[in-house]
Structures are given as C-alpha cells and as structure tokens.
Structure 1
C-alpha cells in the first residue's frame, strides 16, 4: 500500500531531530504523532497500548502551538511565492477552515532568533498561514495558526518543503525549478548528483528542472502567467536558448508578445495561451530563406504569418506568409507590433 504523504513527512522530520521539540507556551497543545498509522479504537486496551508505544519511543510526542500568524514569517527557501497568494487562490482552503471551525492540519514551523517581529517561520504550510491571516483580518479575529514545531537545518527544511510542494498543483514547475536552482548552490555545493540523491529524484529530471530555471524573466514575461511555463515545453524553450543568435531573437519576440499580452488585458480580451506563445517564441529565430528574423509573429493557429527580414536606411522588409490562417486584423496588429519592436531596437522607420 502506498505510504501517506503525512507518514513520509513524519519520517523526514524524525531523521533530522535528535529529540522532540518542547516549547513552553500557555497555548501549547500536546498530541501524539505516530510514525506509523495508529490503530483506530477507543477501548481501554487500545489506549493503554498507545501509551506503551509512546513510552517505548515508537510514537513521538510532538508539540503543536496555537500562534498569531503575524508573529510567524515565511521561510524564503520555500518554492511557493507568498506574494502570488490571494483570497481567490486560497478560497477553497479558507472555506474549509471556516466549516471545520479552525485549522485542522498543522503547518510545520521552526523557531527563529534575532527577529523582534517574529518568533517562528513557516517551513511547510504557506497557504494555511495566508488563509488564517486573511480570516483574522476578515471577521474571524480569533482564528489561530496551528503549527508543529521542528528542529531543522536549512537543507532539511528545504527537503521537507519540497516533499509537500510536489503534491500541490498550485506550485508551478517554474517556481519549483528556480527553488531547486537556489538550493543547488546554497545546500549542495552545486553538486546535482548529491541533490538528486537527497531529494530522491532522478538526476535527469533534476537536470531538466535546473535548465528551465535559467530561462530569463524577460522571456517568462511573454506568458500570461509564470505558471503557464511547465517543465516539458519549458525545457524545449531552454534548449533553444542555448544558441546565442536564437536567444537574442527569442528575447525580442518575447518582449513583443509581452506587449501584446498587456494590450489584451487592458482591453479585457483573452490572453495569448501558453501553447501559442511557445510556438511563436520557437519560430521567432527562423527567418525566411534561413536568415535570422528581426521579428516574427504567428497566427492564432500557431503558424508563421509575418516576419521582418531586414531593417536598414532604405526601409523595412516584411514577409507575409501564406496559409497562416490569419485575417486582415491579425496581420495589421502584427505589423504594428513589429514596427514598435523595431523602434525599441533603434531600427524603426523614424530614425
């Protein structure tokens, strides 16, 4: 039978703790946290058995605290971006906490020193922290942040947060990839093999994640959201960027697409979907007749529709591709974007 994620996290904590955390607090709540799933039962015999297991060390005593989330900061080593959390993205969790009368699943925190504003930092449970903070500011001032205290160094904290985030669909591949890239240097001395062993992942998969992490922000900005850039297409794009000439052309195309995205948002129009953005970026470096394109745009069908082949004092050479599926409005908009992009490069008609 597959092990529960909670069991795996408990094992991970156990291997990095010499002894249970005991933190005196008037609001501390003591609870038994077994490494293995406890038998369900309420008889006197089962209770005596449970106490015996605690005494022998088979079950660890874990301290849980009821905290004010304002006194708890977010550990920066976590992949999840706290700044991108919102009431909307956490709505389901917020509603569940209200329905259950409080937070039922504790977060994992560790004590911090030297920070007058905070006593703890969140290792795993960033969304729970946000949800409780939001509730306290919106009609539920008595809500408490439930946390389990762990003694972890930074590397162990990173592994714990990573295990939890792997099961979360709302943590994007790009967020995790960049988190891995930072951890590779900080915790593993740039040794990818060692990192893969510690995370229990394949070196090949980790290598792809690290390559995606290197995609520049200017290119990521072409996508409607960083979360749209998933591992497989992101790796293909990262490989294309290995060519210096292609990288320059793709970067310029990304800037133009980013402007299109902004224009669409301002007009409340649908944003350009990720597959189309990827096609446009990958086709941007391929100009007509094998020459480098100064600008390239694809139709809504993802086919090349307009390419700027050259720009000099004599003028700008533009190729309109047949069979693109684009209509007149698409071509006019693409031409406007092309001219604006050339102006930004100092190659426009007004020079």
Structure 2
C-alpha cells in the first residue's frame, strides 16, 4: 500500500475526531510522509501535535454576510458581480441547502460595521447575500478564519482564483499590478518567485493591466479581452504617438457605444473594438481630420498633416528656437510611432 493511501484514512479519521459539532475544523499542515504501518492517531497524540504546532485548528464560522467586507486586495471585481455571473452558484446553493465550500476571512478590529474581511470567496459572499434578500433569509455565509498578513492573503487568494474560470484575465492582471508595489517593492522577479509563475507571464500581465483607461473605456465588456489580446494591445500602444491615435479611436467607439445603448442595442463587439484600435494605433486608419501640431517651448515646431499606409506628410516650421537635434527627434518619434521604420524596401 502506498504512503498516500495509508494516510488518507488517518486524515479523515482525524478530521472527524477533532471537529466539534458546531463551528471548528482542522487543517493538517504539510509534513514528511510517514512510513507504512504508522498507528492510527488518537485524541491524546492529536492534541499533542496541535500543541506542538504540527496540527493547526482552523475555525469555521457561519455569519451574516453583511458583517463581512471584501478585502480590497481581492482579485475579483466585486462591483461587476450580478445574478448572471453567479447563477450557477446560486442554483447549486439552493439545491444543496446552503453553501458547502467555505470562503476565507480574517478577523477585523475597530470596524463597527464589519467583523470579518473576505480574502477569497467573494462570489460565494455575493450569492449568499442575494439569496438572503430573495426568499432565503436563513442562508448564512460559511468561512474559515485565518490570521494572515496582506502578502500572504494575496498569495492565498491568487492560488484560489487561478482555478476559477469565471475570473477574467484582465481582473487578475489588474490585481497583480496593484499588488506589485504594495507587497513586492515593484520587483517583478521577487513577485514571480513568490507566486511561482514565470517572469515572462508576469511581465505580460503587468503590461496588460497598465493599458490606459481611456483606451479600455471603448470596451463594453473588458473582461472578454484575453491576456494574449491585451498584451498585444499594450505593445501596440506603448509609444506616445500610437497611444494618442488609439485614444482618439477609442473615444469614437465610446460615443458609438453610448448611441447604441440609448437605442436599446448592444455595444460594439469586443473583437471589432480591438481590431479598430489596433489599426488606428498602427497608423493604418483614416487620416486625421485636423493637423496635429507639436510644440517646442510653446511654439509649433512641426505639424503632422496626414498619415496612412503610403507615408507621412508633415511641415517643419521656421522661426522657432529648436535646433536640428530637437527637430530630428520629433521626426524620428513620429516615424517610429507610425511603423514606417520597420518597413523594408528591396
């Protein structure tokens, strides 16, 4: 018999042995696997292992969800939750007579309105709250109580949420970007090591998260954007001039979305928005309706008259204090942003 097979019955036995009838359970911490033939645990040696720290009691509570607030470091955007996003969980809880899988919370101090803070399990919290106000007032929020600091809370929530398909890659990326300066001193290598993910993956997620809100505002369903698409958009808008073009197109799309919503229609599809913004950022969109001026010390040094796939048209102004190096820098940046610099001629 394998070690894992021999320990499984012992763990089940220990859980039943130490779990009071009301509100507490036990958690067996990781330890070296014992050899075959280990005697069954008894109450006396179990209590000794709790005292030594080998076993740790974990308190479970059943509480009114109104007495719990959501931790701001949680990866899920609580404000975007609604019945549609929680319907499967709500129906499951009704069928099973309540919540079966506990969330994770920590005890609060000096908050007269809340007793606990939800580390993970926000969808379970939302579903329970909804059920209590919709014909199921006896439903309660089930949670385990842990004493953890913010960095540990972030890692626990991240591990829990990685397996959740209902958390978007954008939500996770924004959560990582928020945690980077708070817990890891803006050191991506340190954060990647602590989370056990690759540096490349973390770098892409941070880039995705840092896309301008002026661009993301054009998407009616930003959570539909995948990491691959988001990273591509971040790269396409990394230069100032390409980003400016993308923002201009995003504003047009936002106005279109507003009109469509007023007409009772859905917004512009995510794939269409993405394609239009990428096209605008690359300089392959329509020529600007108005010339763009670039100033140096308050005076126009260069005006971009038009741009398309064929090339650029601009005017360099005389009578400024800009020297040749300044003018060439403006021209170089415009050409780089347009993508023409990457075109190879035979």
TM-score of the aligned structures, taking structure 2 as reference length:
0.71
Q: Deviations over 1:258-312 (max 9, x none)?
A: 1222222332334322222111111113446xxxxxxx4xxxxxxxxxx234436
> 1:108-187 residue pairs with structure 2 within 5 A?
108-187=104-183
Distance change in 2, residues 1:105/1:285 (3 Å): closer
CA shift in 2, pair 1:203/1:320, >3 Å: closer
SS where residue 141 of structure 1 aligns? coil
Change (3 A) 1:270 1:116: closer
Kindly state the Cα deviation for residue 319 of structure 1 after the two structures are TM-superposed.
11
Which residue does the alignment assign to 1:221?
Answer: 217
Task: State how far apart, in whole Å, the 2-side matches of 1:170 and 1:311 are.
Answer: 43
Give the secondary structure class of the aligned counterpart of 2:62: strand
State the Cα distance separating 1:89 from its structure 2 match: 1.2
User: What does the per-residue CA deviation read over 1:205-242, in whole Å, with 9 as the maximum and x for residues that have no partner?
Assistant: 00010111111111111112120222111111111111
Q: Is contact 2:67-2:114 (8 Å) kept?
A: yes
- Cα contact 1:54–1:60 (8 A) shared by 2: no
8 Å contact kept, 1:80–1:171: yes
- 1:168-317 aligned at under 5 Å gives the runs 168-287=164-283, 296=285, 307-311=286-290
Number of residue pairs matched?
267
Q: 1:310 to 1:286 in 2, by over 3 A?
A: farther
- Kept in 1: contact 2:283–2:308 (CA 8 A): no
Distance, in Å, in 2 between the alignment partners of 1:320 and 1:56 is 73
Q: Is the Cα–Cα contact under 8 Å of residues 211 and 234 in structure 2 kept in the other structure?
A: yes
Aligned-partner Cα distance in 2 for 1:320–1:286: 9
Cα distance between partner residues in 1 of 2:290 and 2:186: 43
**Stretch of structure 1 that moved more, 256-265 or 57-66:** 57-66
CA distance in 2, matches of 1:240, 1:286: 7
Question: How far off its partner does 1:59 sit?
Answer: 4.7
Could you tell me which of 24, 32, 47 is aligned with 2:26? 32
CA distance in 2, matches of 1:197, 1:100: 39
Q: Is the 8 A contact 2:236 2:281 kept in 1?
A: no
Report if the CA contact (8 A) 1:64-1:148 is conserved: yes
Report what 2:320 is aligned to.
none
2:266 and 2:281 map into 1 onto residues whose CA distance is: 26
Q: Which residue of 2 aligns with 1:338?
A: none
Alpha-carbon distance change, 109 to 286 in structure 1, aligned in 2, over 3 angstroms: closer
Asked whether the equivalents of residues 28 and 66 of structure 1 are also in contact (C-alpha less than 8 Å), the reply is no
Structure 2: 5+ residue runs without aligned partners? 5-20, 31-37, 292-304, 310-346
1:56 equivalent in structure 2: 49
SS at match of 1:180: helix
SS at match of 2:90: helix
Partner of residue 341, structure 2: none
Q: 1:270 to 1:134 in 2, by over 3 A?
A: closer
Q: Give RMSD over aligned pairs.
A: 2.8
Q: Which stretches in structure 1 are left out of the alignment for 5+ residues?
A: 4-26, 37-45, 289-295, 297-306, 322-351
Q: 1:299-351: CA deviations, max 9, x gaps?
A: xxxxxxxx234436xxxx99999xxxxxxxxxxxxxxxxxxxxxxxxxxxxxx
